[in-house]
Structure 1
């Protein structure tokens, strides 16, 4: 087996090639037609581990092209596979699935592959260097990051790392919404704090301004830099200056908050700069030239009587119904300013010019705009001749709990739990891993007490403890017993150890599957399963001394088990790296 593979070619890839070779042989014999597509043939673990080590659907996929039934074709495929000495048995199951059992040596050799690949184990060239733009966070620059932003930030960052591990070239982007009315409110709020810093008693923060204390340092910064020049000037004199300065200060604060989570973006794009460069006008001109924008009148609001002041107004409308939306959408307001959708359309047009694929991570409260922006990107990218794939991942909010009770927050008083507060209390790793323990579209509770529990019910603890337990075992073996990991006697490993290797060997295909589905939480689930099996094996040694990693009277077996442990640790480290979580050495 070793003569036919590279040092870092993983087991599932090897047997996918061998099954493909068997199909090619049947094609040469005329059993399969030469044009039968094999792209949907899969090689994966069977759903029930008792059925074997690997399963393939090859006969099910190709029987129709072969003009035969799946079980008959499966029999011919099995004949080819049974000639392979590394395949202990090949059996037909159900309507035509093929289950394979491998010779133990095949699994033992995979440990060598993990050791040779090291940090690269699991990485794939599936993405073939395709450029993917992942936009995430993009919180309004009006205050510090809070836990409402946290989950999307972690999902976007972990997804970016996952895609990189699967061979994509990723651009991490943050879109700064610095052109809307909320930025004017920020500037006015900062001006109030500026006057306060100059000694004025501002009293209670007026309704409609941001009341948070986080603007006090901004006011002090502005007072130090500008003096009292704008203290009594009319708004039109200071608003543009305070808007730019306040946004810059807020973005510095946001970047610092994200850095606490280990998140750093490659690109920060400004909505204000987009408008200044005339990009929305360019997008409108292009869309009109392709008959995708027209001047029309929106229908009255459905389902209820229109407001008394409602009247039909002619607006430039994007033909989003042509791309699956339920109505055409305005790109400008009646006063001639751009709608948020109009600006967003231009922004995505700009992104699509520089990427092979776009992914946006949004809060679930934006669900209503997904269809229209997908329609816009479909129109723009098809027009550019790319037909660029575009996906929007919706992330549900996180309910903060403390001791089973919701944490109360008040927008009016400006009191909320910041991301920095949470990271400082429980740590970056706990926050990041916990955010990936459920599908992003599912509701989530974050209980400050539960996320730091040292128990099996706390996934981040359980996975990090598995790595720490391995590190401790390796250290103890070296310092107390003088035993180092060795691959010289791997044939001494038994069925329990082989089960661990089977789980570890799934890591490369888990990366590819998670990357294809754009679901980084799958890696967290996988690591938890791997950690559970490791802990279960470790627990065996408490009652059966011969099952321990270190068996003093059998140094060869100990060295082999330590080699296994070291490779399991490598897989855990590689998985945690994708999630942005540290693989700790002790706990």
Structure 2
């Protein structure tokens, strides 16, 4: 049940009738006619812009259209009032029975709020994709939470979603990892070592070095890289991916698939992708213009193999092969997305850190070229997270050596708090993460406030169960017509917004909207709860009156169900009780 979609359907039916009667001209496009909550609740329950958007194509006064539409809508028994405001906006008030139907729908329909908007569109969401050289840091945490919540949201809205991690195991950084693990391996054999030449000094590699010793004994001690580099690189990468998978699991993130960059080399995949672009006339030999701004000292004009990315919206063409014949970093990324397109995805979403902003246009150009413009690529950037504790910037992790890890954050506050708070800002807005405030038990802490609402519902249900049947199956059939107080109706109206909000959030790929909505829903709930302190008739449990209690418990159970659905999209487990 999507009440806003239902009322919009009725508006469109009335518009069709006006066309049939000759009041409106034929051939009008009703696609932009919307039904939404009014900006001011005092104006009504719902508002439509239909007259405003149709006035110009119909060559009519918008108010005249609105008045004709209002007359039609008032023939509907569920629409008590339809009145014109301003130049042609139309406000509607619905019968109480319509709102009461929302409570029954939320209780009786397990899919309440879910949408078929996605129509099974096959969607790949790639996120995290950190270099397998160490544990995930706090920046990866935000990308992991956002990507996972986005995938869950799209799934809830009817898309066919695959979550994938791209393992960057084909570059020079993996050789550095291997050398770092080798040093820890020597250390495990009692040798003194020095971490130089950019090797990774973090303590997290100590057990990896010891594990390597346990596998090969002293076979690599004193040997050159030609003996051990390939084997140690593979061993270390596997161990780091085990660590990363464990970090993600601690955050409640699981991937559907992992794709190795290394699998692109020596298999013809890169060559096939470049050949595809070449066949479309998009590969050529040329010399790039010098970079803008301060000229690097080592820059020199040289002929390279270039991708004509400007033909697909990029600012400049991009090199895919160096003058020495080796591939650039961009080439395997093209091949990876070529593989995504070949796997039959209808749309692609990449979640990158803020430092990848310069990569957006070239990747979008590559996917546009590879798919002949048929597969859209959206790239979502997650901005930096600033950590605070006791009012001061949080100290770096000794275990990691140079950064605060995902585990540092989760160990401090838990996965649920971490996930929810990471979604209280839009992904491309900076985020402050204060370890004290995210655990604060106050209205100012949305994590607590939403969970407190859920726990309060459970407490009331427990009290009511002492003298009334408050199972969801029973509550779905009780008479809720007695829920007529303004505060009760306001809470129901907020519940009615849930299906619409899901579609708006999914369309905009904005899971933070779910967190915002849950806070607003919790606020309406807590407001009704507190009014019960002064008005006993609003209390959820009416001692000795099972019927009235059942109707009120039905309302707040509907709230709890929607909170549970919303938290599920965010990847958060609701708190059954608060102490």
- If the TM-score is normalised by the length of the shorter chain, which range does it land in? over 0.9
Paired position in structure 2 for 1:61: 53
Please give the residue correspondences for 1:202-213 in structure 2 after superposition, counting only pairs within 5 Å. Answer: 202=193, 204-213=194-203
Paired position in structure 2 for 1:336: 325
Select the residue among 334, 341, 357 that pairs with 1:345. Answer: 334
Residues 1:125 and 2:116 are matched in the alignment: yes
Counterparts in 2 of 1:282 and 1:325: CA distance versus 1, 3 Å: same
Residues 1:449 and 2:436 are matched in the alignment: yes
The C-alpha deviation readout for 1:370-395, integer Å capped at 9, x for no partner, is 1111111111111xxx6211111110
Deviation at 1:452, TM superposition (A): 0.5
Residues 1:40 and 2:27 are matched in the alignment: no
Deviation at 1:69, TM superposition (A): 1.6
Paired position in structure 2 for 1:463: 450
Deviation at 1:289, TM superposition (A): 1.4
Residues 1:230 and 2:220 are matched in the alignment: yes
Select the residue among 563, 570, 574 that pairs with 2:561. Answer: 570
Select the residue among 372, 377, 380 that pairs with 2:370. Answer: 380
Please give the residue correspondences for 1:412-431 in structure 2 after superposition, counting only pairs within 5 Å. Answer: 414-431=401-418
Counterparts in 2 of 1:468 and 1:410: CA distance versus 1, 3 Å: closer
Residues 1:116 and 2:108 are matched in the alignment: yes
Deviation at 1:358, TM superposition (A): 0.5
Question: Contact conserved, 2:511 with 2:570, CA < 8 A, in 1?
Answer: yes
SS at match of 2:515: helix
SS at match of 1:331: strand
Residues 1:105 and 2:97 are matched in the alignment: yes
Q: Which moved more, 1:142-151 or 1:295-304?
A: 295-304
User: How far apart, CA to CA, are the structure 1 residues paired with 2:428 and 2:496?
Assistant: 29
SS at match of 2:304: strand
Give the TM-score of the pair, scaled to structure 1. Answer: 0.95
Question: Contact conserved, 2:285 with 2:305, CA < 8 A, in 1?
Answer: yes
Deviation at 1:296, TM superposition (A): 0.3
Paired position in structure 1 for 2:83: 91
Paired position in structure 2 for 1:300: 290
Deviation at 1:33, TM superposition (A): 3.7
Select the residue among 505, 509, 512 that pairs with 2:503. Answer: 512
Give the TM-score of the pair, scaled to structure 2. Answer: 0.96
SS at match of 1:276: coil
The C-alpha deviation readout for 1:480-538, integer Å capped at 9, x for no partner, is x4463745331211221111000011000100000000000000000000001101110
Select the residue among 61, 71, 80 that pairs with 1:79. Answer: 71
User: How far apart, CA to CA, are the structure 1 residues paired with 2:134 and 2:92?
Assistant: 57
Deviation at 1:413, TM superposition (A): 7.7
Unmatched 5+ stretches in structure 2: none
Residues 1:490 and 2:480 are matched in the alignment: yes
SS at match of 1:338: coil
Deviation at 1:305, TM superposition (A): 4.2
User: How far apart, CA to CA, are the structure 2 residues paired with 1:444 and 1:455?
Assistant: 20
Paired position in structure 2 for 1:549: 540
SS at match of 1:492: coil
User: How far apart, CA to CA, are the structure 1 residues paired with 2:468 and 2:31?
Assistant: 50
Number of aligned residues: 572
The C-alpha deviation readout for 1:239-285, integer Å capped at 9, x for no partner, is 11111111111001000000011100111011110123221111111
Deviation at 1:553, TM superposition (A): 5.6
Question: Contact conserved, 1:331 with 1:341, CA < 8 A, in 2?
Answer: yes
User: How far apart, CA to CA, are the structure 1 residues paired with 2:108 and 2:77?
Assistant: 24
Paired position in structure 2 for 1:216: 206
Question: Contact conserved, 1:359 with 1:393, CA < 8 A, in 2?
Answer: yes
Question: Contact conserved, 2:423 with 2:515, CA < 8 A, in 1?
Answer: yes
SS at match of 1:88: strand
User: How far apart, CA to CA, are the structure 2 residues paired with 1:49 and 1:510?
Assistant: 17
Question: Contact conserved, 2:102 with 2:495, CA < 8 A, in 1?
Answer: no
Question: Contact conserved, 2:305 with 2:323, CA < 8 A, in 1?
Answer: no
Paired position in structure 1 for 2:421: 434
Deviation at 1:423, TM superposition (A): 1.1
Residues 1:312 and 2:301 are matched in the alignment: yes
Counterparts in 2 of 1:413 and 1:151: CA distance versus 1, 3 Å: closer
User: How far apart, CA to CA, are the structure 1 residues paired with 2:289 and 2:203?
Assistant: 44
Question: Contact conserved, 1:135 with 1:360, CA < 8 A, in 2?
Answer: yes
Please give the residue correspondences for 1:145-156 in structure 2 after superposition, counting only pairs within 5 Å. Answer: 145-156=136-147
Question: Contact conserved, 2:204 with 2:399, CA < 8 A, in 1?
Answer: no
Question: Contact conserved, 1:293 with 1:318, CA < 8 A, in 2?
Answer: yes
SS at match of 2:481: helix
User: How far apart, CA to CA, are the structure 1 residues paired with 2:123 and 2:178?
Assistant: 35
User: How far apart, CA to CA, are the structure 2 residues paired with 1:234 and 1:483?
Assistant: 75
Paired position in structure 2 for 1:5: none
CA RMSD of aligned residues (A): 1.6
User: How far apart, CA to CA, are the structure 1 residues paired with 2:345 and 2:295?
Assistant: 45
Counterparts in 2 of 1:97 and 1:413: CA distance versus 1, 3 Å: closer
Unmatched 5+ stretches in structure 1: 1-8
